[in-house]
Structure 1
Amino acid sequence: MQPRNMSMSGVVDLAAVKAAAEAKQKAERARAEAARGGTSAAAPTRLVYDVDEAGFQQDVLQRSTEVPVVIDFWAEWCEPCKQLGPVLEKLAREYAGAFVLAKIDVDANQLLFQQFGVQGIPAVFAVVAGQPVPLFQGAAPEAQVRQVLDQLIQAAERQFGIVGARVEPGAEDEPEAEQAAPARPATPYDSALAAAHEALDSGDLGGAVQAYRNVLSDDPGNAEAKVGLAQAELLQRVRGADPQAVREAAAKDPADVAAQVAAADLELVGGHVADAFGRLVETVRRTAGEDREAARVRLLELFEVVGPEDPRVAAARSALARVLF
């Protein structure tokens, strides 16, 4: 079960990569504290819940760093959906936290429907560690659904180390407790950053780049602007690219640095963070002079996109140091 290469810009932007890593780290800290007998016990887990475009990043992408999220694309008028939906809901409760089920009404969430490339409903996908995985389409029998879910759960544990936590009987479907984050102090750049984020979300990449640069010209250490600029510049580079042509060019000539950095950009946008980092580290290793510097600089730019807290960034920095020195 290989993750599907999918760009989710629009409803979900590249900030999801960083947010997912942060969510996983917070979950690991909470579990560790609970194991030590602390007071921060895990909140009751919802096993079946509705998701819309506004909540997709938090309820699916971030959640998928802790447990496999199975997505059921359905509609009220779809008769096969009415057959499959109860089967999925029954299995979600039976598996008791090994996965969670997110239900998406396609009539109310056309953008998600289109971005996943759904050809018909019911359609079932999964998201694991932020990466979409197509499962099956149509009202499959329960035995087949069980087999697919078992494969998904095994792959999530083997490839990403994600193991859903079991829930106590009767705890499912209770609203999750939310811990209010401390308010961030206002800064002189909040309005400028808000305008930059809005430009990025709306697809005005040139406007976003300029807005972030304006903030950095006054405040070179502004971390939020650095991440936003890296994201906007990355999206600018991949806009209009032919993924197949880029991949073929990179495979044809490993010594072509321009082809390798273009392929790494697409890999990162598609969610294949480790692949993008590994490609550029290897390019740095095999090149010298200006070519090596171009690959190294691009790798550092992609580090900004993902964020320094992500363990894959730390691993790639170590690998880069080994090939440089």
Structure 2
Amino acid sequence: MSQYSFDVSLAEFETQVLLPAQEVPVVVDFWAPWCEPCKVLKPLLEKLAEEYAGRFLLAKVNADENPELSQHFGVRSIPTVKVLFQGQLVDEFSGALPESQIREFLDRFALPAVGGANLREEAAALVGEGKFEEALAKLVEASQATPEDQAIQLDAVEVLMQLGRNDEAKQLLGGEYAQEAERANALRARLALSEGAADTAEIEAKLATNPDDHAARLDLARAYAAQGRYREAMETILEVIVRDRFFDEGAPRKAMLQLFEALGGSEQYDDLVREFRRKMSAALN
């Protein structure tokens, strides 16, 4: 039996739900064995209760066996989820929602993560000041405080890449990131770009001799990207698109999309990606 999720009946509802709900939000899941959507929602809520590690409690009520509770809470269909906190019904939903929507629902009332969230904010501020070593130390501390928070781990990956410690970043990215899959994949793509480092001065000299060497220009864009010079990389690719959009079976468009993928999931690059999505669209139309 988990300390964060448990079955509850009418007899122990006051001691296991109402009293704890004075201090911590309690999610009450009304379910039944014959209910197909319940078979999806219930294990998902159990998994999230473990992940949130006490930021909310999950009380599972068999609606068939506890009709009094169902009636008291006005349950008309199942699954139905009610949230009790500090003597009040604070939120609810019915039906089996996607995991992303359930996370958004939980985040509206779940208690804040102890330590980790504040440390992550401090680390972000240090990154903004260019203090990457100090930021990494904060993220290590934050990850120790909330080891289930995959966003903190991926923040650490980004800082390691800023420090040029790509082997460590690659090792950290070797794990599974079910909660942050899109961002993890983007970081893997960005790490792959960094392995394409080349001498930009040599390629620039080659282009000065032959400005129509589109292959060299794309090589230059990859070299810029490997150095983290993403705006210059996109501008270089865009120039190839403008000069010859069909070069090498659409290679410049594919290179730009690869960059978009690599920078996805990172707020600091959102504006840059939007800008060049518009520019590429204009160049292709």
TM-score of the superposed pair, with normalisation by structure 2: 0.39
TM-score of the superposed pair, with normalisation by structure 1: 0.35
Question: Larger RCO: Structure 1 or Structure 2 (Cα < 8 Å, ≥ 6 residues apart)?
Answer: 1
- Asked which structure has the greater CA Rg, the reply is 2
